[in-house]
Amino acid sequence: MLLLITFGYTNIVLCGLFAVAFALLWAKMLHFPNSTIENGYYGFNALLVGLGLGSIYQLTWTLLVVLFITSLFSVLIQAYLDKKWGAQKLYPLSLPFVLVFIIALVAIHQAEYFQQYEEKIFILNHYTALHPLLGDCYGKIGSALPPFWKYFFNALSSIFFLDDFLIGFILGLLLLFYSRVSFSLALLGFATAYGIIVLLGLDKMFGFFSAGYNFILLGIAVGGFFVIPSFSSYLSVMVLSFLNVFLTLFLNYVFFAIFTTPSYSLPFVLLTNLFIFLLPSFSKLELYPTIYQEYKPEHNLYRHRNIWKRFHNVFQYYPLQLPVMGKWKIAQGYNGPHTHKDQYQFALDFVVEDDGKTYQGSGQQLEDYFCYGQWVIAPGDGIVVTLENNVSDNRIGEVNALQNWGNTIVIKHTEGLYSQLSHLLAGSSLVRVGDFVYRGQVIARVGNSGRSPEPHLHFQVQPYPAIGSKPMPYPFARYKKIIGEKEELRFYDIPEENDVVENVYPSINTAFSFKPGMEFTIKINEEVFPISVYVDAYNQTYLYCHKTSSFLYVYTDYFRHYFTHYVGNKKSPLYTLYLACFTVELSFLPSILIEDEIPLHKVFSPLRLLLVDLVAPFGLPLRAQFNSAYSFEENKYVIHSFISSQSLFNHSTNKIKTYKILISQRIELIVDNTNNQNYEFVW
Q: How far apart are CA 90 and CA 273, in angstroms?
A: 6
- On whether both 543 and 637 belong to a single domain, the answer is yes
- On whether both 592 and 643 belong to a single domain, the answer is yes
Of 20-24, 397-401, 424-428, 520-524, where does mean pLDDT reach its minimum?
397-401
- On whether both 415 and 554 belong to a single domain, the answer is no
Indicate the residue among 77, 99, 121 that finishes a domain.
121
Give residues with Cβ within 8 angstroms of 205, minimum separation 6. none
**What's the pLDDT score for residue 261?**
79
- On whether both 514 and 447 belong to a single domain, the answer is no
- On whether both 463 and 586 belong to a single domain, the answer is no
- On whether both 525 and 595 belong to a single domain, the answer is yes
- On whether both 659 and 520 belong to a single domain, the answer is yes
- On whether both 359 and 478 belong to a single domain, the answer is yes
Indicate the residue among 121, 146, 177 that finishes a domain.
121
pLDDT in tens, 64-78: 999 999 999 999 999
**What's the pLDDT score for residue 209?**
45
pLDDT in tens, 122-153: 666 667 766 778 777 877 887 888 888 888 99
Domain count, the chain: 3
- Give the ranges where 405-464 is alpha helix by DSSP (H): none
Say if 312 falls within a structural domain.
no
Question: 524 — phi, psi (to 5°)?
Answer: -120, 110
pTM: 0.85
Say if residue 252 is exposed, middle or buried (CB neighbours under 10 Å; 0-12, 13-18, 19+).
buried
Whether 208 has a pLDDT exceeding 50, the answer reads: no
Q: How far apart are CA 210 and CA 191, in angstroms?
A: 16
Say if 362 falls within a structural domain.
yes
Extended strands (E) in 209-290 = none
Report residue 336's pLDDT band, with 50, 70 and 90 as the boundaries.
Answer: confident
Give residues with Cβ within 8 angstroms of 198, minimum separation 6. none
Percent of the chain with pLDDT over 70: 96
Say if 369 falls within a structural domain.
yes
Whether 213 has a pLDDT exceeding 80, the answer reads: yes
Measured between alpha carbons, how far is residue 619 from residues 114, 229, 598, 614, 622 in Å?
55, 11, 16, 10, 9
- On whether both 400 and 516 belong to a single domain, the answer is no
Report residue 574's pLDDT band, with 50, 70 and 90 as the boundaries.
Answer: very high
> Angle CA(40)–CA(46)–CA(48) in degrees, nearest 5?
100
Of 194-198, 233-237, 563-567, 572-576, where does mean pLDDT reach its minimum?
194-198
Indicate the residue among 502, 531, 565 that finishes a domain.
502
Whether 444 has a pLDDT exceeding 50, the answer reads: yes
CATH number of the domain enclosing 365: 2.70.70.10
Range of the domain at 532: 510-682
pLDDT in tens, 91-121: 999 999 999 999 898 888 777 677 777 665 5
- On whether both 640 and 567 belong to a single domain, the answer is yes
Q: How far apart are CA 164 and CA 150, in angstroms?
A: 9
Q: Which residue has the higher pLDDT, 404 or 203?
A: 404
Say if 309 falls within a structural domain.
no
Say if 194 falls within a structural domain.
no
Say if 60 falls within a structural domain.
yes
Pairing mode of beta strands 407-414, 500-502? unpaired
Is residue 81 within 8 Å of residue 95, measured between CB atoms?
yes
Say if 172 falls within a structural domain.
no
Say if 287 falls within a structural domain.
no
> Angle CA(543)–CA(545)–CA(548) in degrees, nearest 5?
145
- On whether both 368 and 477 belong to a single domain, the answer is yes
- On whether both 518 and 651 belong to a single domain, the answer is yes
